[in-house]
Homo-oligomer: A and B are copies of this chain.
Amino acid sequence: MGRTPKDSITIADVARAAEVSRATVSRVMNGRLNVAPDIVARVRAAADRLNYRPSDLARSLSLGTTNMVALLVPDLGNPLFQQILRGITSASAAAGYRVLVAESDEDPDAEASIAIEARRRCDALIMVSPRLDEPSLLELLPQVQPVMLVNRQGPPEVSSVLVDYGRAVRMVVDHLVALGHRRLVFLAGPAASASNTLRLRALDVAEREITGLEIVRLDCGRSIEDGYGAVDRVLAARGTAVVAFNDLVAFGLLARLNEVGVAVPDELSVTGMDDIGLARFAVPSLTTVRVPQRDLGELAWRRLHAAITGADGEGDVPDLALHVRASTGPKPGRGSEVGQTLGGGRGEG
């Protein structure tokens, strides 16, 4: 039992003050209809006078619903996850829900227990890009229902919001190939990332389908620092264009290339992925694929909410779009074998 002396005023206090039962106070507070107007007024007056606020905790326990949704992300420092958080926060707030955030710090082992723990306090769970291996994930999911996966495929009975990173990376590759590039360098992300696997698979396909295309795969990471630190290996790989795992990596790469004096895109083209807010403000502005990040969060929420309330979740993952900006250009060395002129400004392709 609480050791607290209970400073807060409870429904019993209001009932006493209004000279009615606790049940009646509850009815009034929740707008149940069968209460006489004068009693309603009396209760409201008492509640106002005492500045009464019903305990959400007690309500939740009694109602069996918390109006909270848990969100688990690998890394709160990543703009992609931040935007998803924003999307979920604002969309769910509209339905009276609040978001509880948890971060696994990219640690696959910690993920399961954090997920369970966070889920216990909420009505549902959204896991973004879980790094958990497949068996563990399959074992975890039933325990945290209702659950929604973002950027990770689960079993059929678990719904998910998926970005087709395979297609996204292929858009980038096709763009670069059209510019004449034939030897690309791919900077890979975390090995545990499912979306990284999607990218790699798409690259395999592209390499088979496009004759003459070579792709050098380098382990890199997901952060600016990773991109910044990869420059030497990138240059050693002697490609004419770099496909970075995401915009952050591309950002770090660009910064370092600028320092060592490699001209982008004249000597080397660079592409990102996600189109985080900063991408169009990079120098040069970054060619990337727009992944509608906030929308992703909103969609995840909508589907989850629909699943909770029994409705069906309308809406679909918004389309990807290649945004051609100033960081990509024709393959250097040869003339203008490419028929099109690339806008150097901040065109929104």
Contacts and interface: CB of A to CB of B under 8 A. Distances in A.
A346 interface: yes
A343 interface: no
Interface stretch (A205-213, A278-286, A313-321): A278-286
Interface in A113-165: 116-118, 120-121, 143
A277 to B, nearest CB: 7
A309 interface: no
Interface string A257-290: 0110000000000000000011011110100000
Contact of A100 (B61, B99, B258): B99
A103 B76 contact: no
B281 A252 contact: yes
A252 B283 CA distance: 11
A62 B90 CA distance: 31
- Tallying the copies of this chain within the complex gives 2
Interface centre among A282, A285, A346 (most CB of B within 10 A): A282
Contacts of A64: 2-4, 6
Given A102-B93, A259-B345, A259-B346, A76 B85 contact: yes
Nearest to A256: B281
Interface string A56-89: 1110111111101000000011000011011001
A61 B56 CA distance: 10
Given A64-B3, A120-B56, A281-B224, A98 B102 contact: yes
Given A105-B90, A277-B224, A121 B76 contact: no
Contact of A98 (B57, B61, B121): B121
Nearest to A280: B255
Given A53-B120, A93-B102, A283-B283, A76 B86 contact: yes
A55 interface: yes
Interface residues of A, number: 58
A101 interface: yes
A103 B77 contact: no
A228 interface: yes
Contacts of A280: 255
Contacts of A89: 76, 101-103
Nearest to A63: B2
A322 interface: no
A63 B254 CA distance: 53
A80 to B, nearest CB: 12
A253 to B, nearest CB: 10
Contacts of A36: none
A1 interface: yes
8 contacts: A1-B62, A55-B120, A58-B61, A76-B85, A85-B101, A90-B103, A98-B117, A255-B282
Given A90-B105, A93-B103, A252-B281, 18 more contacts: A1-B62, A2-B63, A6-B64, A56-B121, A57-B57, A68-B100, A82-B82, A89-B101, A89-B102, A98-B121, A100-B100, A100-B101, A224-B277, A224-B278, A254-B281, A255-B282, A255-B283, A283-B283
Leading 9 A-B pairs by shortest Cβ distance: A2-B64, A283-B283, A255-B281, A4-B64, A76-B86, A56-B120, A57-B61, A56-B121, A100-B100
